[in-house]
Amino acid sequence: MMPVPDPPVPTSPIRDEVDRAVEELRLAERAAELDRQPEFPKAEFRALGERGLLGLHTATRLGGRGLSLLDSAATLYRLAYRSGSTTFAKLSLQPEFSSVLAELGSDALVASYFVPLCRGERLIGNQVTEPAAGSDPRGMAFEALRDDRGYRLRGTKSQAAFAVDAEAAIVYARVPAHSAGPGGITAFLVPQDRPGIDRRLVPDLGERWMRRGAVRYENVPIGPEFRLGEEGKGLEYVLPELTRERALLAMIYLGVARRSLEETVEFVGQRETFGRPLSQQQSVSFPLVEDWSDADAATLYALRSIEKLSDGEEATAEAALSKWMATDVALTTLDHAIQFHGGRGYSTELPFERQWRDVRSGGIAHGPSELMHRAGARRLWPPPQKA
């Protein structure tokens, strides 16, 4: 590879393990196969679990790897970079996406669902979004109606990753006794094989292995032991998790971007048109120089938000802006990779079009980019405190 100066990312303490996993499990090739034939990568999930590569930032007593947030970030970056894909780094993050279960579930729930998740044995989804409530959960209509044996769930969740593959999902519902608005929402762990649950796949542009879709609940009974935390506090619990996720997702998108940048820099240094290498054309070299500096800047910014979170500081806005910046930089870099590789760049022979489609989700999933800006605006102009 041509020497693009090293990115400003600390070396992962388990870098060799990651590199070995990518080689031995053929993760780069598998990412392409999973795009062509979308399915949940069960074997790789299990293998990553066996190798201790799921739940990098999750405590070892819960089955995770117990790395610091910064080491997790460096490791996810490496995994995305080496596999040239968001797939396996996002798979690795699944336990962190379910930290509400680890923190608030009973010992029995943690033992039978969360620990197996870290081993790659059980997949847990998250179901927040509904047809009429995505960015703004105040519109959530999904209900958990109390009855003498616990609750009955009814309503429809939409757009959920692993809609058809998850063994269980963390489901957010309104218990009618509680106030309207975000304050009234309660989290439950719901095994997805209960009668009354109907799951439907809706194919996607990218990240097809997630097999997203809609899940309809028709009076599905669930005992109180499946409730996570107190009634009405579901969203309060999920917000800190969401902030960490956004900062880590930024590192995944930047890992993929870095890989494509290096490949494009090498290619334009060799490919000749009109008697000289493409790299001699400023219209080609300058955008790539900008990609390099933008990627380094976005990486430093994401690492800064990770450092703040590690120090226990408030970094909601920084983490949100990290995700937006990383997505934007990665999409531009991938677009340049497609463009400067010419006709092959646009084809499925090269990975860039798939990487672009995968990274494109970053502008919507875990909060659209506009809401990331909104988090920044709220930092600059905080909303007045209610008396």
Ligand X SMILES: Cc1cc2nc3c(=O)[nH]c(=O)nc-3n(C[C@H](O)[C@H](O)[C@H](O)COP(=O)(O)OP(=O)(O)OC[C@H]3O[C@@H](n4cnc5c(N)ncnc54)[C@H](O)[C@@H]3O)c2cc1C
Q: Which is nearer to ligand X, 124 or 288 (CB)?
A: 124
Q: Which of residues 53-92 bind ligand X (CB under 6 A)?
A: none
In angstroms, give the least distance from the CB of 194 to ligand X: 18
In angstroms, give the least distance from the CB of 370 to ligand X: 3
- Determine, following the binding rule CB under 6 A, whether residue 175 of this chain makes contact with ligand X: no
- Three-state DSSP class for 132? coil
- Three-state DSSP class for 133? strand
Q: Which region among 43-51, 58-66, 126-134, 288-296 touches ligand X (by CB under 6 A)?
A: 126-134
Q: Which of residues 206-245 bind ligand X (CB under 6 A)?
A: 207, 212
- Determine, following the binding rule CB under 6 A, whether residue 94 of this chain makes contact with ligand X: no
| Displacement of CA 308 from its chain's centroid (Å) | 20
CA-based max dimension of the chain: 81
For residues 186 and 178, the answer to whether their CB atoms sit within 8 Å is: yes
In angstroms, give the least distance from the CB of 89 to ligand X: 14
DSSP result, 45-83: HHHHHHTT-SSTTS-GGGTS----HHHHHHHHHHHHHHH
- Determine, following the binding rule CB under 6 A, whether residue 135 of this chain makes contact with ligand X: yes
d(CA 76, CA 127): 24
**What are φ and ψ of residue 143, in 5° steps?**
-115, 150
Q: Which is nearer to ligand X, 65 or 246 (CB)?
A: 246
Q: Single out the residue of 290, 172, 160 nearest to residue 239, CA to CA.
A: 172
- Determine, following the binding rule CB under 6 A, whether residue 127 of this chain makes contact with ligand X: yes
Q: Which is nearer to ligand X, 169 or 288 (CB)?
A: 169
For residues 144 and 173, the answer to whether their CB atoms sit within 8 Å is: yes
- The residue from 22, 56, 67, 128 that contacts ligand X (CB under 6 A) is 128
- Determine, following the binding rule CB under 6 A, whether residue 182 of this chain makes contact with ligand X: no
What residues line the site for ligand X (CB under 6 A)? 125-129, 134-136, 159-161, 207, 212, 361, 364-365, 367-368, 370-371, 374
